[in-house]
Structure 1
Amino acid sequence: MARTRKNPADAKLPKRVYRGKTKYEFHPARGGSVSLCPLDAPLSVIWAEYEKIICDMSREENTVSELIKQFLASATFQDLAMETKKDYRKYANKLTPVFGKMSPDNVKPEHVRKYMDKRGLKSRTQANREKTFFSRVYKWGYERGMVKGNPCTGVKQYKEKARERYITDAEYTALYSVSPAIVKMAMELAYLCCARQADVLSLTRSQLMENGIFIRQGKTGKQQIKAWTKRLEDAVKMSGTLVTDPGIASMYVICQATGHKYTRDGFNSRWKKAKDIAKDTFPELDFNFTFHDLKAKGISDLDGTLAEKQMISGHRNITQTARYDRKIEVVPVVGGQNTK
């Protein structure tokens, strides 16, 4: 039951509306205040302004934009990896201008399909990623009673062609020869340890064990110690050549002058610059590959069966490993099977 107002003249005012110094003010339960109209305004005007504010707030609070904001502020989002959070914010910036003002329950599968069709003209991969993010937001909202369903359910994604790019030894050696120390170190760690970029850039000195490098994969959670080899030791020793600001001792193996680790974007700018130099220096070679392809080269160059490669790579299943095993197999022709 609402409390009795101190001033009987205010008894007919809308809920949470009070006299301010010069205007009537609405004080929402979430905090703050909103000016409505002058103190000499008639009661009908006060109610009209109040209802307008309530309507606007209701629309604002029950929108896709607000649903996305709540997801980005949730504990679920905070538990994600740093790079995943950065990607999700990027996807949110693409989706909000299109769906932001709609009521979440008014978004239908056909709207998502239309978005996919249009977005896919520019990038099918990004269309898939944005739809996956959108679906995750709705799943999160559905579990909390914020939405009635998920409009992304049943909307097909674009089929993505599996990468087949294998970096040859000549391409690797050429790029390595013109790269700065940070890129050389990252290349070697990613290749030798079959590691993801995020795990390489976040590598700390405390992970350097007596018998190898301890790596807990950010994606699968798999914990492994990558045993030392002379080549791996040499790669880590390059960390000593990195120059830091006076008085700075970094905890990271690959670090900036400030001692901080490199962000994905910060490192990728140096990776791109190194590839551009390699293209100019070795025009006869093809450097159209990604940093992630270094992990695939490592898995492809491992000796052993696919099952053995899965164990070393730390993949959850052998199908994942098979996607990374890209070296083309040499097979005999008819009549050449028994020749030496």
Structure 2
Amino acid sequence: MGRARKDGDPLGLAGTRLSFKHGAFYYRHRDGRWERVGTDVKVAKERAALYNDPQGVYGTVAYWLDQFIVDCTARVAAGTLSARTLADYTENIVPLKAYFGAMLPEHIEPQHVQAYLDIGAKAGRPVRANREKACLSSCLSWLMRTGRTTLKVNPCMQASGTKGNPESKRERYVTHAEYIEVYEAAGTQVRLLMELTYRTLQRPESDLLGWTPAVLARDPHSGARVLSFIQGKTGMRVKIALTERLESLIHRAMGKVPVISQPLVHNRKGEGYTYSGITAMLTAAIRKVNKAREAKGLPKLESFGFRDLKGKGATDMWLAGHPIEQIQLLCGHSDKATTEKYIKARWNATAQPNETAIA
């Protein structure tokens, strides 16, 4: 049994192998070495807990990333975070733990984050590195909000000097002819998701694939039939008027005997698709089209995804003269400027020269 500390242990250092002397905290390793671990008692205790932990992970970035996922899982259950965001974070922490895992959060500096981004760019994954950096930033912000760290400034934020990797805008505009060619070559479920994406402008991966017959509702104010759902990314309640075309699509998807819990886009067993799975089916339809075009001596179609059909739908509405506010509401964008950029990134109209006659 250890001896009682003469000073009564006001800092709670008992059992930590820490000592305070000469204005700083020191950790006494089992091999007899003394290591200076700073002047902040909380940071010193976390470093001591790391050294005292047999697995050597307590208090490290790896430890806190795992705790962050636990917190995010609870937020998904409470409805304050989308399941898609949790899935992204869970995927992103794997490479983050490999690079930052052994560090303490307080030891991460902007140059470390920038080095991570640069390595990602050199490895041919610049955008992926940006997403992982955003995940790390969210974790560190969570630690700061909850008082689990002495960090005062998030080293991932642009204000800290880090600069994300350049990302090119997705400018693919699918023409009507391209849409029809692929639509006719695709299977029933791919056709359904193509048209639902184009008609509703909703995110196929986080919203449409999760739709069940439960999205059918009546507006409590007007009594009109609508599609009512909460967007996975924004958490916003959205109501879309149920047009004759949409109603036909959804009733066809539900079948003669609707199952309230069955996804509208489902396989023969009534099970939903993963986004990667149904995207592969769309890609197969495009390959089928290109094979037929090649046999006719025609150029191949450039590949596209379901998200491009969301952009096509928004752009087509804009070209048809629909108010930008209506498109913004459907897309779930927080401001009109985002919607304008989203549309114009896919519509490269040819500018006309000034033909004003000079008197």
Q: Deviations over 1:227-270 (max 9, x none)?
A: 233432342244156999xxx87532112344332222332332
Q: Which residue of 1 aligns with 2:19?
A: none
Q: Which residue of 2 aligns with 1:24?
A: none
TM superposition score normalised by structure 2: 0.71
Q: Which residue of 1 aligns with 2:197?
A: 190
Q: Which residue of 2 aligns with 1:57?
A: 53
- Residues 213 and 262, structure 2, Cα contact 8 Å, conserved in 1: yes
Q: Which residue of 2 aligns with 1:205?
A: 213
Q: Which residue of 1 aligns with 2:126?
A: 124
Give 3-state SS (helix, strand or coil) of 2:96's partner.
Answer: helix
What amino acid is the match of 2:176?
D
Report the more deviating stretch, 324-333 or 57-66.
324-333
Please list every run of 5 or more consecutive structure 1 residues that lacks an aligned counterpart in the other structure: 1-10, 14-27, 29-46
Q: Deviations over 1:246-304 (max 9, x none)?
A: xx875321123443322223323323322332332334342322221111111111132
CA positional deviation for 1:75: 4.6
Give 3-state SS (helix, strand or coil) of 2:234's partner.
Answer: coil
Give me the identity figure in percent: 28
Q: Which residue of 2 aligns with 1:235?
A: 249
CA positional deviation for 1:137: 0.7
Q: Which residue of 1 aligns with 2:233?
A: 219
Residue 331 and residue 228 in structure 1: after superposition, are their counterparts in 2 closer, same or farther (change >3 A)? farther
Give 3-state SS (helix, strand or coil) of 1:136's partner.
Answer: helix
Q: Which residue of 1 aligns with 2:147?
A: 145
Give 3-state SS (helix, strand or coil) of 1:70's partner.
Answer: helix
Q: Which residue of 2 aligns with 1:286?
A: 301
CA positional deviation for 1:313: 3.4
**The one of 313, 316, 327 aligned to 1:301:** 316
**The one of 300, 324, 347 aligned to 1:327:** 347
Give 3-state SS (helix, strand or coil) of 1:98's partner.
Answer: helix
Q: Deviations over 1:163-205 (max 9, x none)?
A: 2211111111111111111111001000011111121101110
- Residues 181 and 242, structure 1, Cα contact 8 Å, conserved in 2: no
Report the more deviating stretch, 309-318 or 158-167.
309-318
Shift >4 Å, 4+ stretches: 240-244, 330-337
Q: Which residue of 2 aligns with 1:164?
A: 171
Q: Deviations over 1:293-320 (max 9, x none)?
A: 1111111111323234324434221112
- Residues 207 and 213, structure 1, Cα contact 8 Å, conserved in 2: yes
CA positional deviation for 1:321: 0.9
Give 3-state SS (helix, strand or coil) of 1:60's partner.
Answer: coil
Greater gyration radius: 1
User: What's the C-alpha RMSD, in Å, of the aligned pairs?
Assistant: 3.3
- Residues 71 and 77, structure 1, Cα contact 8 Å, conserved in 2: no
Aligned counterparts of 1:53 and 1:108: Cα–Cα separation in 2: 22
Residue 319 and residue 76 in structure 1: after superposition, are their counterparts in 2 closer, same or farther (change >3 A)? farther
Report the more deviating stretch, 159-168 or 323-332.
323-332
What amino acid is the match of 2:284?
K
**The one of 248, 256, 263 aligned to 2:274:** 263
| Equivalences for residues 16-35 of structure 1 within 5 A | none
Aligned counterparts of 2:281 and 2:356: Cα–Cα separation in 1: 47
